[in-house]
Structure 1
Amino acid sequence: MDVIQGGIMLGAPNRYEARLAAAVVERFPAIERVRFCNSGTEANIMAISAARAITKRSKILAFREGYHGGVLTFAHGGSPLNLPFPFVFADYNDSAGAVALIKEQGDELAAVIVEPMMGGGGCIPATREFLQALRTATKETGALLIFDEVMTSRLDYRALHGAHEIFPDFVTLGKYIGGGASFGAFGGRADLVDRFDPALPGAFSHGGTFNNNILSMAAGFTGLTQVLTQEASRAINARGDRLREAMNVSLERHGIEGIVIGRGSLMNLHFVRGPVDTPARLDDADPSVIALWHIEMLLRGYYVTPRGMLALSLPFGDAELDGFAAAFDDFLSSNLKILPRRTN
């Protein structure tokens, strides 16, 4: 209340942004400097644009079926609204193919952008070997590596780059780190982000009236330091792992052709045969089955996304886990005649 009464948009630096910046740098090991913006989409645009300006190269490597924001959407062949960056595409979790493409592009490739676990693409975790291959190849060719952790930074207290101990050049953040208010951020190596320091000659300009709005800065600092503590992060992600296991046990017991994949508090149900390590494995999924699940879970009092994704929130406790798992099991048993069945 004190923050709101003092004014939420003053158009000048404030103590709240300094506190949040320090908390972000302390928590996420690849972020030595950080700049705030208003959304994950904007954070990715800024990271990509900075990479192109710094390297003086043009091309960006992304991964098929990936999602990095409303104008960086690569599912189903991409969106006509996408920004006109010169993109080249590789297949997710295909280390050999991605490395070959990085080397082939050579000094034309400015950056590689990747989620350490595909979020909108189906909650497909990247293997550590795949991420390490990207890190090694980009270092060799001089391209910059961008980890889009807008979604995945919630999956470990140190984000997934910290969990894997693979450190990209840029990291992008968003969503929950604003404490419920609009938020985005991009950060990374000090020598790269320092290019935005207005005290330095030739600095990149980065304006934005709401970039450091006091509501996001104060709420973000409180949420990051007092709510999403290390203990809370471990608890919600462990609970997500238990829910995913329970759902897969139900699918197995009922003989349903399906799998729940993901990590920690983010997961996605797919009515396909597992394992799923690349989006191509999802091409044959019947969308009407997921649509049925979406409606039937709503009728049971649980909201799931129409694409089958679940994102657990901190109030989701053991009682909610048991209730959801029971509702899911009931959905399966009530629809055995129309759900895809395992053949062996």
Structure 2
Amino acid sequence: MTYLGEYGDSDSFGQQLKQHGDEIAAVFLEPVMGASGIIAAAPEFLNEVKQAAHEAGALFVLDEVLTFRLAEGGRQQTLEFDPDLTTFGKLIGGGFPVGAVGASRELMRIFDPANLKAFHTGTFNANPVTMVAGSVSVRELTAARIEIMERQARQLKNGLLGIARNTGLALTINHVGSLLNLFFTDKHCGIHHDRDDLDIISRFHLACLNEGLFIAPRGLMALSTAFDDALIEQCLEKATRAMQQTVTETT
């Protein structure tokens, strides 16, 4: 059984844990919601939910699949937050399918073959190609490189906002580290935001593809260590033409 709380509202999680604590083994949360538009959780929210989980006898699991890129120790390092378990994916596979979980030695001891309590196996576990690609990817993700990506993301964000102003499009960009999410609106795009720009974001997404610029259909843009300043400028040039095309199609 899965129970839902409202992101950003620790009381809603506390109520679920009080009512169903005997059924709940763990609480899962992202420190930054990706699919919802790069919405960052407040540190106090995460701490309050973690405390409520522990009081109910449950573990707190932080989903760093998307956000591990934000610091060498993931978003939890930036927030100085210590979850019970952490899930990983995406970049740790270097482009290949991958998933991993990490925790304290005490919790991970259940997988110890010498005293096995939880059986964990699979055809592609520790796939050597994924492990090699992932090790290179993680090795390249240094603090210095992360800082460069953050600077480039700010450059990209400011450039996109300027292009939107020049083309007469309302644009709001949610931004955390090297992650951006575009909303064609002048409204604040937070937890309770209902998208009313689905038509225009769809047109812009297609226009970007036609220009050779890939963004997610929902407006997500994620930088990588392969970016340099020249590539950022190319992205802005392509985005300029894509926005101009979008304006032409919607007027």
Deviations 1:35-91 (A, max 9, x none): xxxxxxxxxxxxxxxxxxxxxxxxxxxxxxxxxxxxxxxxxxxxxxxxxxx111122
TM-aligned CA distance change 1:305 to 1:297, over 3 Å: same
**CA displacement at 1:162 relative to structure 2:** 1.1
Deviations 1:226-246 (A, max 9, x none): x22222222123312332233
Contact 1:251 1:259 survives alignment (8 Å): no
1:141 counterpart (47, 56, 71): 56
Give the TM-score, by structure 2 length: 0.89
**CA displacement at 1:336 relative to structure 2:** 4.2
In structure 2, give the amino acid aligned to 1:236.
Answer: M
**CA displacement at 1:252 relative to structure 2:** 4.8
**CA displacement at 1:309 relative to structure 2:** 1.3
**CA displacement at 1:169 relative to structure 2:** 0.8
- Identify the residue that residue 9 of structure 2 maps to in structure 1: 94
TM-aligned CA distance change 1:193 to 1:275, over 3 Å: same
In structure 2, give the amino acid aligned to 1:297.
Answer: C
Q: Is residue 322 of structure 1 aligned with residue 233 of structure 2?
A: yes
Q: Is residue 276 of structure 1 aligned with residue 189 of structure 2?
A: yes
- Identify the residue that residue 157 of structure 1 maps to in structure 2: 72
TM-aligned CA distance change 1:251 to 1:97, over 3 Å: farther
TM-aligned CA distance change 1:232 to 1:193, over 3 Å: same
SS in 2 for 1:88: coil
SS in 2 for 1:211: coil
SS in 1 for 2:122: coil
**CA displacement at 1:249 relative to structure 2:** 4.1
Contact 1:95 1:134 survives alignment (8 Å): yes
**CA displacement at 1:172 relative to structure 2:** 0.6
2:109 counterpart (190, 194, 211): 194
1:263 counterpart (167, 176, 183): 176
Give the TM-score, by structure 1 length: 0.66
Contact 2:69 2:141 survives alignment (8 Å): no
Higher relative contact order (CA closer than 8 Å, sequence separation 6+)? 1
Q: Percent of aligned positions with the same letter in both sequences?
A: 33
Deviations 1:240-288 (A, max 9, x none): 233223323444565533311131222211123432221x30x242322
TM-aligned CA distance change 1:337 to 1:95, over 3 Å: farther
- Identify the residue that residue 235 of structure 1 maps to in structure 2: 148
**CA displacement at 1:315 relative to structure 2:** 1.6
**CA displacement at 1:338 relative to structure 2:** 6.4
SS in 2 for 1:303: coil
Q: What is the alpha-carbon distance in structure 1 between the residues aligned to residue 138 and residue 132 of structure 2?
A: 10
Pairwise mapping of residues 277-296 of structure 1 onto structure 2 (< 5 A)?
277-278=190-191, 280-281=192-193, 283-296=194-207
1:306 counterpart (217, 220, 239): 217
**CA displacement at 1:337 relative to structure 2:** 6.6
Q: Which runs of 5+ in 1 are unaligned?
A: 1-85
Q: Is residue 221 of structure 1 aligned with residue 132 of structure 2?
A: no
TM-aligned CA distance change 1:99 to 1:244, over 3 Å: farther
TM-aligned CA distance change 1:324 to 1:138, over 3 Å: same
In structure 2, give the amino acid aligned to 1:230.
Answer: A
Q: What is the alpha-carbon distance in structure 2 between the residues aligned to residue 103 and residue 93 of structure 1?
A: 18
Q: Which runs of 5+ in 2 are unaligned?
A: none
SS in 1 for 2:25: strand
TM-aligned CA distance change 1:125 to 1:313, over 3 Å: same
Contact 1:157 1:230 survives alignment (8 Å): yes
**CA displacement at 1:115 relative to structure 2:** 1.1
- Name which of structure 1's ranges 234-243 and 115-124 shifts more when overlaid on structure 2: 234-243
TM-aligned CA distance change 1:106 to 1:174, over 3 Å: same
SS in 1 for 2:185: coil
- Name which of structure 1's ranges 139-148 and 266-275 shifts more when overlaid on structure 2: 266-275
Q: Is residue 248 of structure 1 aligned with residue 154 of structure 2?
A: no
TM-aligned CA distance change 1:106 to 1:300, over 3 Å: same
Contact 1:258 1:270 survives alignment (8 Å): yes
In structure 2, give the amino acid aligned to 1:267.
Answer: L
